[in-house]
Every structure is written in C-alpha cells, then in structure tokens.
Amino acid sequence: GENVEQHPSTLSVQEGDSAVIKCTYSDSASNYFPWYKQELGKGPQLIIDIRSNVGEKKDQRIAVTLNKTAKHFSLHITETQPEDSAVYFCAARNQAGTALIFGKGTTLSVSS
C-alpha cells in the first residue's frame, strides 16, 4: 500500500520568511496530492492540491510542486504570517473513491 513520508516534523520561521515542507510517496500509481492545514481542535482544511499531470500549482502565497519521477512533492509558503502557524499534512491517493494516506504532519510556527 501507499506510504507517505513527511519532513520536517517541526519548522520555525520568522514572519516574512518562506517555509518549505517536503513529502515523498511510495506508490507510483498515486496521482492526487492534497495539502491540508489543521489548527488545534479543528478538522483539516484543504489549502491546495495537485494532480500528477501537473508539475506546479500556485495560489497566492502557497505553491505546490510535484516530481513524479522522484515521487516527491513539496509545499511552499512565501511571506509567512503568524496566522500560518498550524499543523500541515500532505496526503496521496491513486483514485477517486479511495481514502487519502497522510504524512505525519509538520508543525509550523511563525514568529513575529
């Protein structure tokens, strides 16, 4: 089955800096890679996703890159703000109707 590795487990940056979180996956058949932000005591919120036929996707300060050959994808947050502080999860799956497999999460702390 699919296995998703995520690192770093914790990341501390200064406000305005960029943050990068990386994930690798094992199943070459995986073709959908979302990223979720989870705040304490709340459910995960989808922030961006990418499909395997695309190498990069950007939405304002957030971008995701995908390298299918190497089986890794990354989340990039630019101009970080304190409200970006949360736990971020990457995930992968190979077809609609199947469950997402999650990485272990990255706790991002943005200090002002």
Partner 1 sequence: GAVVSQHPSWVICKSGTSVKIECRSLDFQATTMFWYRQFPKQSLMLMATSNEGSKATYEQGVEKDKFLINHASLTLSTLTVTSAHPEDSSFYICSAEGTQSGEKLFFGSGTQLSVL
CB 52 within 8 A of CB 32: yes
Q: Say whether residue 36 binds partner 1 (CB under 8 A).
A: yes
Choose which of 2, 25, 30, 44 interacts with partner 1 (CB under 8 A). 44
Choose which of 30, 75, 84, 103 interacts with partner 1 (CB under 8 A). 103
| Residue 102 backbone class (left: φ over 0; alpha: ψ -120 to 50; beta: rest) | beta
Give the single-character DSSP code of 82. Answer: G
Q: Say whether residue 112 binds partner 1 (CB under 8 A).
A: no
Please give the residue ranges that form the binding site for partner 1 (CB under 8 A): 32, 34, 36, 41-46, 49, 51, 89, 96-105
